[in-house]
């Protein structure tokens, strides 16, 4: 699994480097504002804000529910191991501020009643609404557009996607948090049917660039951030 993760990391870094050297941000970023907004309180009593973009309500905070990621176990070299963190209170504070991390299955299972994990098509529709061309939205890899508006906070779209990185195995035997502040990695509900092993499409946003990556990722390799959606009420 380590070799696979290292390869994925190397490919992501290489492709992003090529993209950043050959693409500049689009100066014609559209102005998009929600048609409605509000709050939702989950079963734990946590209040989430949402904005309506198109026909969907999008949570504007990463989901904080479920078991804290560091209390869970993972398989390393065929053995079940448990996460170990130095300061659980500090981790709890980060979860309260930036959201929890989830495996793909957890991301699907933890959706509050009435909400769901966005599909790949949901993200494509959002990206097109935020100015990405339809032809680019359906491509894999880094695509120009939508990233800046996905990260707008307080004004504009107010979607406020965060650069919370992910938790996975890079070069050590134990999963670790990385890319925080550089990337934001988000699960979709859609599996890539062309892959022999279970792979779900994800979205990756990157700091200071109007770009979004669409790529299939093995469902058992990482813990990622989650945004939930619901049909407009």
pTM: 0.85
pLDDT of residue 7: 39
More reliable by pLDDT, 213 or 20: 213
Percentage of the residues of the chain whose pLDDT score is greater than 70: 81
pLDDT of residue 176: 77
Helices (H), 77-221: 88-98, 104-109, 120-129, 134-137, 147-150
pLDDT of residue 1: 42
pLDDT in tens, 188-208: 999 999 998 899 999 999 999
pLDDT of residue 10: 40
Q: Spell out the residues 6+ positions from residue 86 whose beta carbon is closer than 8 angstroms to its own.
A: none
Query: Is residue 46's pLDDT more than 90?
Result: yes
Query: Is residue 175's pLDDT more than 90?
Result: no
Nearest Cα residue to 57 out of 34, 84, 25: 34
Query: Is residue 24's pLDDT more than 70?
Result: no
């Amino acid at each position: 699994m380590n070799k696979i993760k290292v390869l994925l990391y190397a490919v992501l870094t290489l492709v992003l480097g090529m993209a950043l050297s050959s693409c500049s941000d689009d100066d014609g970023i559209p102005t998009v504002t929600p048609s409605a907004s509000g709050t939702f309180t989950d079963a734990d009593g946590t209040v989430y804000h949402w904005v309506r973009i198109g026909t969907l309500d999008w949570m504007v905070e990463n989901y904080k529910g479920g078991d804290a990621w560091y209390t869970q176990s993972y398989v390393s070299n065929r053995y079940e191991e448990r996460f170990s963190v130095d300061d659980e209170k500090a981790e709890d504070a980060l979860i309260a501020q930036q959201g929890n991390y989830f495996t793909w299955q957890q991301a699907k299972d933890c959706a509050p009643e009435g909400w769901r994990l966005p599909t790949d098509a949901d993200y494509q529709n959002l990206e097109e609404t935020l100015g990405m061309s339809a032809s680019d939205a359906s491509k894999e890899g880094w695509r120009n557009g939508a990233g800046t508006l996905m990260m707008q906070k307080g004004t504009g779209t107010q979607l406020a996607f965060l650069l919370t990185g992910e938790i996975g195995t890079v070069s050590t035997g134990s999963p670790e948090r990385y890319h925080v502040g550089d990337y934001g990695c988000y699960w979709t509900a859609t599996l890539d049917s062309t892959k022999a092993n279970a792979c779900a499409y994800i979205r990756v946003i990157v700091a200071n660039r109007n770009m979004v990556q669409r790529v299939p990722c093995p469902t058992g390799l990482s813990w990622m951030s989650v945004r939930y959606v619901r049909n407009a009420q």
